[in-house]
Amino acid sequence: MKDEGLRPAIEAYIEASAEQLEAIDRRLREALKDSGPILVWGAGQLALKLLAQTSLGKAEIEAFIDGNPIHHGKTIRGVPVLAPEQIRHRPRPILITTTLHEKEIVDRIAAMGLTHRVMTLGDPPATGGAA
């Protein structure tokens, strides 16, 4: 049968995805421990998945930040989505919930002159605040 190899590949993908999500959740639990209110940079699909399936859903989120104007003015779980420029006077730690644009966002935070603590889903950022 043509699709014989497909099932093991799909099962391997699902297992790897679950392991990756668990690793991210471990990182989130550590990063969010004793953090108080946070800002979440990213209002896309990964942020929504993390809210639903990880400890991020239990975090005290003051606002979401997104560079895409289509999200500005909306809410996620009753929490506002703001433009990056709107967080200058919100001295909360920032959790970046994207892996694809993580470096660009860390660089943008630094270029904006923000001194917010920056937390990422992967390794600690090279610039910006401490993870």
Asked if residue 104 is part of any domain, the answer here is: yes
pLDDT at 13: 85
* CATH code of the domain covering residue 107: 3.40.50.720
Mean pLDDT of 36-40: 94
Q: What is the pTM of this model?
A: 0.82
Give the burial string for 31-50 (b: 16+ CB within 10 Å, else e).
Answer: bbeeeeebbbbbbeeebeeb
Q: Which domain holds residue 113?
A: 6-119
* Paired tokens of 99: 């892996």
| Residue 113 included in any domain | yes
Answer yes or no: is 131 within a domain.
Answer: no
Report if residue 61 sits inside a domain.
Answer: yes
Please check whether residue 61 is in contact with residue 37, taking contact to mean a CB–CB distance below 8 angstroms.
yes
Res 131 pLDDT > 90: no
- Asked if residue 65 is part of any domain, the answer here is yes
C-alpha distances (whole Å) from 53 to each of 15, 24, 32, 60 are: 15, 10, 15, 16
User: pLDDT tens, 17-29?
Assistant: 888 888 888 888 8
What does the mean pLDDT of the chain come to? Answer: 87
Domain assignment present for 130 = no
Average pLDDT for 34-48: 91
- Any domain includes 72: yes
Three-state DSSP at 63 gives strand
129 inside domain: no
- How many domains does the structure of the chain reveal? 1
What values do phi and psi take at 126, rounded to 5?
A: -75, -30
